[in-house]
Structure 1
Amino acid sequence: MEKKQEISGQNLVNIIVEILDSKKATHIEIIDLQNKGYLSQFVVIATSMAGKHGLSLLNYLKDDLKPKGVRFYAIDEDNEDWIIVDFGEIIVHIFTENHRNKYNLEEFLEKTFSKNGFNG
């Protein structure tokens, strides 16, 4: 039986970004919060074309990463306008454009962690 190689940290971020980009997510941002006191090391934020596209992006992440042994700690897909995937050290937010603009998570993280040297 083949042992699955653990993928984590920056390597997993890169794989997630590649999957999202290849499936037409836009405005993909990586926010490095290592050593900033946040609950994860990285936050990936992407925009979907519509709610159904966001759900498809989630399914592509599942299809590509679960066979590689990547653990999904939690998934919030109750609202297709804002899907959250918790990989432990990485949290992925998939927004529709309106919800991304409305909640402006990037600005919140920058303001919250700027006193700790945030350089997003």
Structure 2
Amino acid sequence: MQKRAQRIKDLLEEKKGENVDIIDTSKSDYFVDRVIIATTLSDKHTTALLDYLKEKLKPQGEEFIKVQEGDEWIVIDLGDILVHLMTEAYRNKYQIEEFLAELMRDKNV
């Protein structure tokens, strides 16, 4: 699992994804085991990163179960890994890392 997540992180960083974080949610009640979050440079960069991930990961057997797209964000469901690609403004707005940190704290209480 960690190797797959690291491979995705490396691919995102290869194409200028910024502040790429891997969050282990396997010990929480969250519906996936890993969440990967990357900041993109623009809405076009967000789409380009999605295309690059598909190009590189599908031949390795990675299944893109669902992809949801907004103006400045994309969420990719890979089954047990969720990838969030978003512009800096959207990343600051939604603060997914804080939501997941709170979820993890609540589980450990």
Calculate the TM-score normalised by the size of structure 1: 0.86
Task: State the Cα distance separating 1:80 from its structure 2 match.
Answer: 3.7
RMSD (CA atoms): 1.3
Task: State the Cα distance separating 1:92 from its structure 2 match.
Answer: 0.3
Give the counterpart of 2:21 among 29, 34, 44. Answer: 29
Name the aligned partner's letter for residue 59 of structure 1: D
Aligned 8 A contact 1:74 1:87 in 2? yes
Aligned-pair identity (%): 40
**Inter-partner Cα distance in structure 1 for 2:71 and 2:77:** 16
The structure in which a higher percent of residues are helix is: 2
Query: Which structure has the greater CA radius of gyration?
Result: 1
State the partner residue of 2:78. Answer: 87
**Aligned ranges 1:1-120 → 2 under 5 Å:** 9-77=1-69, 79-117=70-108
Unaligned runs of 5+ in 1: 1-8
**Inter-partner Cα distance in structure 1 for 2:58 and 2:94:** 29
Unaligned runs of 5+ in 2: none
Name the aligned partner's letter for residue 53 of structure 1: H
**Inter-partner Cα distance in structure 1 for 2:28 and 2:6:** 20
Calculate the TM-score normalised by the size of structure 2: 0.95
Deviations 1:32-87 (A, max 9, x none): 0112111000000000000000000000000000111111111112x141100001
Aligned partner of residue 34 in structure 1, secondary structure: coil
Aligned partner of residue 8 in structure 2, secondary structure: helix
